Chain A
Amino acid sequence: MKLNLILAILIIFLVTSCKKFLVVDPPANQATTDRVFASNETAIATVNGIYAEMMTNGSQFSASGITFYAGMCADELRYYGPSERDEFINNAIADPGQTTLELYFWNMAYKYIYAANLTIDKLNTSSAISKAVKDQLNSEAKFIRAFCYFYLVNLFGDVPLATTSDYRVNEKLGRSPVAAVYDQIKIDLNEAVTLLTPEYNNGERVRPTRWAALALSARVYLYLQQWVKAEQFATEIINSGKHSLVANPSEVFLMNSNEAIWQLLPVNPAFNTWEGLFILPASVTAPPTYIFDGSLVSSIEAGDLRKAIWFASRDFQSQTFFYPSKYAVRGINVPITEYYMVLRLAELYLIRAEARVQQNKVSESIADLNIIRSRAGLPSTAAATPGEILFAIEKERRIELAAEWGHRWFDLKRTNRADVVLAPVKPQWQATDVLWPLPMNQIRANPKLVQNPGY
């Protein structure tokens, strides 16, 4: 019986002492969320991480995707050679199962929204982070959230509005109306405008500042046709004295150019921007990848300084192709001289011109438009009536903001001119094509998501 007793003691000992044995530390190259938000440095790194990630994968919406895919949907860009991109060019996305939309747009945007939400949630409960850092990170995270929702709502229409990091809540969300999404964007931007720093740290324009929040706000109110606010925010930036139009168009897209309000930092040390890498021909004989639509090139007035610099051309198989060359550096393993421009001053002049003419401030509007034209070496606009001025602004935006973040596509949509402009040039155009289809896998994963009409 002694034996049994010893065995019993032994077994109890073995069982109880082993719970602890199975507790393993997290791997050294990962950190638990609670530990991350126990110090300022690691908390800051969670926001730095978002900026780095936004430029890590080159095809995603934040690194080139919107420029290319929204550009192809509009009368702006074409892809040289046939490919599955044809369905974007023809606005004939027949297969909602196609994965570009999901992988590069939907998933990526929500990934950054989640990261921002997680930072916001954890900052709320963390006691270890200083007030100043908390305010800064909170407002940067909210800026990023607003930025991502801005593109989601403009590409897809109604979208799920996740404002927490809890997946158990988020997985059950259906689509929120566009207005509700914009309401959240306005709340977030408002807080960002209040709390974000007005200073560019060390001259680097790669973290969002108060000016970035104002610039995005101005655009949001322009899209919402709240002209007063759009004008007011644009004016605040234009008058800040922190920015100026760069005289030579070839210097606009350089790193920390004085025109920049917010640029994304190319984090891959091997090359400059993704657009430079993707668009510029690989060799002196190779064809370009993305080319400008002929109607865009032919609309450029004679004497426009921008044409030679931002619209490069290449003769290939006895045809001349124009392709975007705002980013002039393709090279691999060359020093980084260009950052990826997200928000810049020229757009604010054009926003204000439009907001002003909509309020019948005709001469002030013409003045803003002419500032952009004069930098391009063009004479003052001949447009005089509000209607003419609006067309002139639309045309100026198409050229000034060409191959930048899909401006042309969004302009056609927000001014309800997509049907008028695109139907004649795209035989398969349907009115419902202004919204992209929701990715099929997402509808599968969340039955509450209902597909956009037309798909």
Chain B
Amino acid sequence: MDLFSKLHAWTGSILCAMMLISSARGQTVSLSVKAEPIEKVFLLIEKQTGYIFIYSTEAIALSRPVTLNVKDETLPHVLSLCFKNQPLNYTTMDNKHIIVKLKIEEKPVSPDRELKGKVVNENGEAVAGVTIAIKNSQSVTISDNSGHFGFNRAPDHAILLVSGAEMQSQEVSVGNQDFILIHAQPKLGVLDETIIKGYYKTSRKFNTGTVGKVTAKDIATQPVSNPLAALQGRVSGLFITQSSGLPGSQFSVLIRGRNSIQNGNEPLYIVDGVIFSPDKLTLRSNVNVNSPFNTLVPDDIESIEVLKDADATSLYGSRGANGVILITTKKGKEGKPQLEVSLSTGWGRVARTMDYMNTRQYLEMRREAYTNDGMIPSAADAGDLLSFDTTRYTDWKKQLIGGTANLTNSQVRYSGGSMNTTFSVSSNYYRETTVFPGNFSDQHFSFASALTNRSNDNKFNFSLSGNYSQEVNKLVNQDLSGFLKLPPNGPALHDADGKLTWNENGWWFDNPLAPAYRPYRAEIDRLTASSSISYSPLRGLIFRTNGGMNRQHLNEKNQTPIASLDPTYNPKGSASFGSNDLQSWIVEVQGEYNYRFRNLLRLKTMFGSSWQHSRTEGNVQDGTGYTSDVLLNTINGAASVSITDHYSKYRYHALFARIEMNYRDKWIVNLTGRRDGSSRFGPGNRYANFGAAGLAWIFTSEPFLSGNKFLSFGKIRMSYGLAGNDQIGNYQYFDTYTTTLYPFLGQAGLRPLRLFNPDYGWEQKANVDLALETGLFNNRILLNAVFFRSTIGNQIIQYTLPSQTGSTGITRNFPGLVENKGWEFEVSSKNITGSKFSWNSSFNLTIPRNKLLRFPGLENSSYASSYKIGEPLNLRFLYEYTGIDPQTGVYTFTDVNRDGFINSLDRTQTRHTNPKFYGGLQNNLTFGKLEASLFLQFVKQDGIEPMFASFSAPGFSSNQPVYLADRWQKPGDNARYQRYTVTTGPAYFAAFRAPNSTAIITDASFIRVKNISIAYILPASRLKFMGINTARLFVHAQNLFTITSYRGPDPENQSVTAIPPLRVITIGGRLTF
């Protein structure tokens, strides 16, 4: 890792250079004054050193004019000259302030004395109008315009109560000082909430970009193992769908719609500054689980920020186009160490399913099908009628996915800190089982730690965090939902010997428990560590280096024992052994300089550079021909072995900078820029520039609106910028050979993999946001409306080459253009605020629109049947479904070109299933010790009706949904579904066309009670004897119920082969000691 040491050397030299500069700038003074007032001399010294003089007017009034002529002298020396022959004393404080006071003769110590002081803000500026009272006395005063205040008589060791309109109230103990400097902390209103924008922070008030935020409070009430699940419906512009209800299932995440025609649309994920890869590691898993996010413990997360517009994402340059999700983990907080223990247990069940026919309905369907076709059931094709027991009924839904999944979560966290150091360590154990019969589980253990430290003078800051987690996934390697179509009169799953049944009276049966006999085990270890060191040589100037690494390792075993296979064919066992390793690191250096020009202008600048590296390497050994199940644990037992391996490396480098200007807290301009290089592109196209400008006008700071009772806050902001997308996979430009799947006569074979192709570059997204943010009634109601429009051009597509070139396509930039535009609305309101009862609500709504604007030559390209100008990218080209022919009872479709055939040329109807609008509504209530929250998620969309899309022609020996009973039976019937059939006649072929016809499109809108949480806080006084500070008991429910007219199991994942998201209810408690 020579590069690492190189970087460290650089970092070191930067820091050294800065320290030299600081001594050169900070500590020497040059002055030439002649009989000037001392105040003016103070100003000159302040300018040159950054120190601030603190003094009272009375004291200065007694001072004498100063004459001085020094050059590059040290500050103490200059001060000693300056105060020579003055009736004043001075002391320096915390390297920032010089306190000047009158020389006072020693007086005998008295209990009451004069006390003076000054109130300053975080920038050292005087704060006027602050109320200062002496505790347990009647003395009260107010700071003057220079921030000064004084008491003629104050007791020794007095405690001051300090409060003001725009500051947090605080108590200050004076000790035996007679001058005290009070640092006022600004009061944190709802608009002062910190917004993390990756490389920098801002506040809601001054933010120029569009950023959504979900905090620990909202995450904690949700019984989910994947933090992405906690975001569903809570952030406008963010559309998340869960692929299945299995533990660790993958989520599809889209921020403001699909940008890229053919390449990745996944946002960039960053956890504590380290890039987090969302790709699952598993190699031979048939179920879509093992999302790496499952190893991030929701309890450890402090906040999740979703960066949406160019102002927020351009600083991520080539990877920002699809938006950025920043996850910040919990750090320790200043204060007494605190132990927090939480335990919960829960139950999950499949919430919404589809009813299948019972045996009576099924047999009726089968027999009607034979009658319809004039056939008699024969042993060759109707084993379910002739060989199976027709009086038996098994509800496969109940038997296969009707179980209860158990969830256990336990977390211990110990955190605390002093002024300089904070720490936090936590460990978590999570286990979730499935609704399938059998002993399947996914469990993970994780350990997280965080440490921060700063020097007394606040110049050095250091933070370190580490996270190790281990997941053991023992899930069935096939979703049993796929078996619900088995005939309901199928045989018992086990025979008298306890072995799997494969037939009854000679008719084969696809035993649904067979997958459960095929052990699958994946072990995933993940280690993430990151550190940040910063040094501030001068006020306003900070240098920082961040480093982080991430390592994930997978060990996977997937076995198919002979016992799980039908013995008729004398099967052999097989086993695969996979290993996959992901390693990545990031190193960044950055500098920040903040400058303030009086109260007029605040300038924040930053520049930096980033180096990133990631590597994936792995292999799978597939062994086949095992003659005994005992040998399945070793590859040596296989009769033949094939090995596949993979390797890829990705490197990335960037330079970035930002300037923010804030004029009188009214106008804010934020400029960001980034220059990116990526190893995914050919030598000539590696670098590209991205940037954005954001502008905000806080119009309520204008005099004509200030103090308005109704409109307490108003901001108009806009941003424009460019970001890029490089999610095209590695090595696309190399011309390479790769080994053939099989060797030839024991020698390796090579096959050409790719054509040499150095000529493609980034996809580029241009984004405009226009937003209005308002606060009403002293910001009790916040209303935000955002309009966004982005166009993504320079699309990288697999350009279709005629295959006479030996290749079916080549990666090329293409002047296609995709547009995403829409509206996002957010409302939050504190409906009732009281000490006994409070109620607040928040609501968000997104109306998105995705559209292909330009695709030159589309009609004649091979994409003519995939995309259409003016339509969304997720488009289906379908036959026009024209209902059931009342005479024949068969689905009919339009023969568009009237050539007498229904073939691919007739698929001219287009439909999409993108959401039309979506959002969420949250309500939080507090009644004394009781807290309750309710969250509703809603989506308006079209979906796919499974009856048409996923089932075989009705009538064959495969079970069907109950609602299929609405079928054609005799000429003249007006039914929803066609006649039953058992032959490969017109009805059979029509059923094969139906999935590609408009018949499948159905309304899949839903309103879901996504989350209900009730918590009770036990009175602390009762628990004190046990050392317990607080105790909280809670009930959380997720996906409680769904209101929808969708004709299928679940409108979210719309699948009949994957179980829907579960309804989960957990109970638990959280104690702090």
Interfacial residues, chain A to chain B (CB-CB below 8 A): 2-3, 6-7, 10-11, 13-15, 18-19, 21-33, 36, 42, 44-46, 48-53, 55-56, 81-82, 94-95, 97-98, 102, 106-107, 110-111, 113-115, 117-118, 159-160, 162, 165, 167, 170-171, 173, 204, 206, 265, 267-270, 283, 317, 333, 441-442, 444-447, 449
Does A10 contact B806, Cβ atoms closer than 8 Å? no
Does B747 contact A44, Cβ atoms closer than 8 Å? yes
Q: List 22 A-B contacts (CB under 8 A).
A: A7-B607, A18-B653, A19-B677, A22-B653, A29-B738, A30-B734, A33-B752, A42-B737, A42-B750, A48-B740, A48-B750, A52-B749, A56-B740, A110-B803, A115-B806, A118-B752, A162-B805, A167-B806, A270-B640, A333-B572, A442-B802, A445-B800
Q: In the complex, what distance in Å separates the CA atom of A173 from the CA atom of B802?
A: 9
Q: In the complex, what distance in Å separates the CA atom of A26 from the CA atom of B756?
A: 13
Q: Mark B613-656, 1 if CB is under 8 A from A, else 0.
A: 00001000000110000000000000110100111111111010
Interfacial residues, chain B to chain A (CB-CB below 8 A): 3, 10, 14, 17, 21, 24, 380, 568-569, 572, 591, 607, 609, 611, 617, 624-625, 639-640, 642, 645-653, 655, 677-679, 686, 730-731, 734-745, 747-753, 755-756, 800-808, 810, 860-862, 864, 899, 901, 903-905, 984
Q: Which partner residue on chain A sits nearest B381 by CB separation?
A: A317
Does B3 contact A21, Cβ atoms closer than 8 Å? yes
Does B749 contact A107, Cβ atoms closer than 8 Å? no
- Given the interface contacts A24-B650, A27-B648, A206-B745, does A167 sit within 8 Å of B801 by beta carbon? yes
Shortest CB distance A53–B (Å): 6
Does B805 contact A32, Cβ atoms closer than 8 Å? no
Top 7 nearest A-B pairs by Cβ distance?
A114-B806, A49-B749, A446-B802, A267-B742, A52-B749, A48-B744, A167-B805
Q: In the complex, what distance in Å separates the CA atom of A55 from the CA atom of B751?
A: 13
Selected from A14, A106, A173, the residue in CB contact (under 8 A) with B655 is: A14
Does A56 contact B742, Cβ atoms closer than 8 Å? yes
- Given the interface contacts A33-B737, A49-B744, does A165 sit within 8 Å of B806 by beta carbon? yes
Enumerate chain A residues within 8 angstroms of B653, measured Cβ to Cβ. 18, 21-22
Does A45 contact B749, Cβ atoms closer than 8 Å? yes
Does A36 contact B810, Cβ atoms closer than 8 Å? no
Enumerate chain B residues within 8 angstroms of A81, measured Cβ to Cβ. 984
Does B750 contact A22, Cβ atoms closer than 8 Å? no
Does A18 contact B803, Cβ atoms closer than 8 Å? no
Beyond A30-B736, A50-B749, 5 additional pairs, beta carbon < 8 A = A24-B651, A25-B649, A46-B751, A48-B740, A52-B743
Does B864 contact A444, Cβ atoms closer than 8 Å? yes
Shortest CB distance B244–A (Å): 30
Does B744 contact A171, Cβ atoms closer than 8 Å? no
Enumerate chain B residues within 8 angstroms of A115, measured Cβ to Cβ. 751-752, 806
Shortest CB distance B379–A (Å): 10
Shortest CB distance B665–A (Å): 29
Shortest CB distance A446–B (Å): 4
Does B678 contact A22, Cβ atoms closer than 8 Å? yes
Q: In the complex, what distance in Å separates the CA atom of A268 from the CA atom of B806?
A: 23
Q: In the complex, what distance in Å separates the CA atom of A227 from the CA atom of B804?
A: 32
Does B649 contact A171, Cβ atoms closer than 8 Å? no
**In this complex, which of B748, B806, B810, B901 has the most chain A Cβ atoms within 10 angstroms of its Cβ?**
B806
Does A111 contact B806, Cβ atoms closer than 8 Å? yes
Looking at chain B's contact residues, the main secondary structure is mixed
Selected from B649, B747, B805, B904, the residue in CB contact (under 8 A) with A170 is: B805
Enumerate chain A residues within 8 angstroms of B748, measured Cβ to Cβ. 45, 48
Does B904 contact A441, Cβ atoms closer than 8 Å? no
Q: In the complex, what distance in Å separates the CA atom of A19 from the CA atom of B730?
A: 17
Does B903 contact A95, Cβ atoms closer than 8 Å? yes
Does A45 contact B802, Cβ atoms closer than 8 Å? no
Q: In the complex, what distance in Å separates the CA atom of A265 from the CA atom of B746?
A: 11
Shortest CB distance B764–A (Å): 19
- Given the interface contacts A167-B755, A265-B744, does A46 sit within 8 Å of B678 by beta carbon? no
Enumerate chain A residues within 8 angstroms of B609, measured Cβ to Cβ. 14
Enumerate chain B residues within 8 angstroms of A160, measured Cβ to Cβ. 802, 804
Q: In the complex, what distance in Å separates the CA atom of A447 from the CA atom of B862?
A: 12
How many contacts between A and B, using CB within 8 angstroms? 224
Q: In the complex, what distance in Å separates the CA atom of A171 from the CA atom of B648?
A: 30
Enumerate chain B residues within 8 angstroms of A446, measured Cβ to Cβ. 802, 804
**In this complex, which of B21, B734, B752, B904 has the most chain A Cβ atoms within 10 angstroms of its Cβ?**
B752
Enumerate chain B residues within 8 angstroms of A30, measured Cβ to Cβ. 731, 734, 736-738, 753
Q: Which partner residue on chain B sits nearest A13 by CB separation?
A: B10
Shortest CB distance A302–B (Å): 33
Shortest CB distance A177–B (Å): 15
Enumerate chain B residues within 8 angstroms of A46, measured Cβ to Cβ. 737, 749-752
- Given the interface contacts A25-B649, A45-B747, A267-B742, does A114 sit within 8 Å of B805 by beta carbon? yes
Selected from B10, B14, B647, B808, the residue in CB contact (under 8 A) with A27 is: B647
Does A114 contact B752, Cβ atoms closer than 8 Å? yes
Does A52 contact B806, Cβ atoms closer than 8 Å? no
Selected from A11, A14, A110, the residue in CB contact (under 8 A) with B806 is: A110
Enumerate chain B residues within 8 angstroms of A317, measured Cβ to Cβ. 380
Q: Which partner residue on chain B sits nearest A49 by CB separation?
A: B749
Shortest CB distance B355–A (Å): 33
Does A118 contact B806, Cβ atoms closer than 8 Å? yes
Q: Which partner residue on chain A sits nearest B25 by CB separation?
A: A3
Enumerate chain B residues within 8 angstroms of A29, measured Cβ to Cβ. 645-647, 738-739
Selected from B640, B647, B738, B750, the residue in CB contact (under 8 A) with A269 is: B640
Enumerate chain A residues within 8 angstroms of B806, measured Cβ to Cβ. 110-111, 113-115, 117-118, 162, 165, 167, 170
Does B804 contact A26, Cβ atoms closer than 8 Å? no
Q: Which partner residue on chain A sits nearest B640 by CB separation?
A: A269
Does A26 contact B747, Cβ atoms closer than 8 Å? no
Q: Which partner residue on chain B sits nearest A331 by CB separation?
A: B570
Q: Which partner residue on chain A sits nearest B904 by CB separation?
A: A97
**In this complex, which of B653, B744, B901, B904 has the most chain A Cβ atoms within 10 angstroms of its Cβ?**
B744
Enumerate chain A residues within 8 angstroms of B904, measured Cβ to Cβ. 95, 97-98
Shortest CB distance A340–B (Å): 13
Selected from A26, A82, A97, A106, the residue in CB contact (under 8 A) with B903 is: A97
Q: Which partner residue on chain A sits nearest B654 by CB separation?
A: A18
Enumerate chain A residues within 8 angstroms of B744, measured Cβ to Cβ. 48-49, 51-52, 206, 265, 267
Q: In the complex, what distance in Å separates the CA atom of A173 from the CA atom of B650?
A: 36
Does B864 contact A442, Cβ atoms closer than 8 Å? no
Selected from A22, A32, A52, A444, the residue in CB contact (under 8 A) with B742 is: A52
Selected from A21, A107, A118, the residue in CB contact (under 8 A) with B808 is: A107
Does B801 contact A53, Cβ atoms closer than 8 Å? no
- Given the interface contacts A45-B747, A114-B807, does A22 sit within 8 Å of B738 by beta carbon? no
Shortest CB distance B702–A (Å): 37
Shortest CB distance B390–A (Å): 23
Q: In the complex, what distance in Å separates the CA atom of A24 from the CA atom of B729?
A: 14
Shortest CB distance A209–B (Å): 15
Q: In the complex, what distance in Å separates the CA atom of A7 from the CA atom of B617?
A: 38
Q: In the complex, what distance in Å separates the CA atom of A31 from the CA atom of B647?
A: 12
Enumerate chain A residues within 8 angstroms of B646, measured Cβ to Cβ. 27, 29
Enumerate chain A residues within 8 angstroms of B864, measured Cβ to Cβ. 444
Enumerate chain A residues within 8 angstroms of B651, measured Cβ to Cβ. 21-22, 24
**In this complex, which of B677, B803, B808, B864 has the most chain A Cβ atoms within 10 angstroms of its Cβ?**
B803
Does A31 contact B750, Cβ atoms closer than 8 Å? yes
Enumerate chain B residues within 8 angstroms of A444, measured Cβ to Cβ. 800, 860-862, 864
Enumerate chain A residues within 8 angstroms of B24, measured Cβ to Cβ. 2
Q: In the complex, what distance in Å separates the CA atom of A397 from the CA atom of B868?
A: 52
Q: In the complex, what distance in Å separates the CA atom of A50 from the CA atom of B710?
A: 78
Shortest CB distance A178–B (Å): 16
Does A82 contact B624, Cβ atoms closer than 8 Å? no
Q: Which partner residue on chain B sits nearest A317 by CB separation?
A: B380
Q: Which partner residue on chain B sits nearest A333 by CB separation?
A: B625
Enumerate chain A residues within 8 angstroms of B10, measured Cβ to Cβ. 13
Shortest CB distance B893–A (Å): 14
Shortest CB distance A228–B (Å): 34
Q: In the complex, what distance in Å separates the CA atom of A97 from the CA atom of B902?
A: 12
Does B749 contact A48, Cβ atoms closer than 8 Å? yes
Q: In the complex, what distance in Å separates the CA atom of A401 from the CA atom of B3?
A: 66
Enumerate chain B residues within 8 angstroms of A15, measured Cβ to Cβ. 655
